[in-house]
Amino acid sequence: MKYRKERLNELIKEELGKFFLKELDFENSIVTIMSVEVSDDLLNAKVKINIMPSSKLNEISDILRKNRRRLEHFLMKKISIKQIPKLSFEINEHPEREEEVEKIFIKDKI
């Protein structure tokens, strides 16, 4: 069961990333999915998000909250399991992590 949960975490992260790119408009912001943690009973999933710049935190939170059902419906079409976990979003509010993510982007461009 442990491996199933890990595979589901990665699959949800991948599919949500695709949805973020194609369907949601985060104006002048970079939104990255840091990780997904599905509960042991597979009914809930905590999606950890990083937002740059942090000044857009409230705006992005509202967009994610308003589109939660739409995201769950999208996952239901993409993933074959009995019940799609209920999504909750945890936003990284630590500016020091922002520097780490920025360094990764800069390194990947070079």
Selection from 60, 75, 88 nearest residue 16 by Cα: 75
* pTM of the predicted structure, to 2 decimals: 0.78
The DSSP code for 42 is S
pLDDT tens per residue, range 20-60: 888 888 888 888 899 999 998 889 999 999 888 878 888 98
Q: Which amino acid is at 5?
A: K
Domain of residue 57, residue span: 2-109
* CATH code at position 67: 3.30.300.20
Token pair for 22: 């194609």
Strands 86-91 and 30-38: unpaired
The mean pLDDT value for 9-21 works out to 92
The DSSP code for 110 is -
- Tokens 């597979």 identify what position? 42
Q: What pLDDT score was predicted for residue 98?
A: 61
Distance CA 83, CA 86 (A): 9
Q: What is the mean pLDDT of the chain?
A: 84
Structural domains counted in the chain: 1
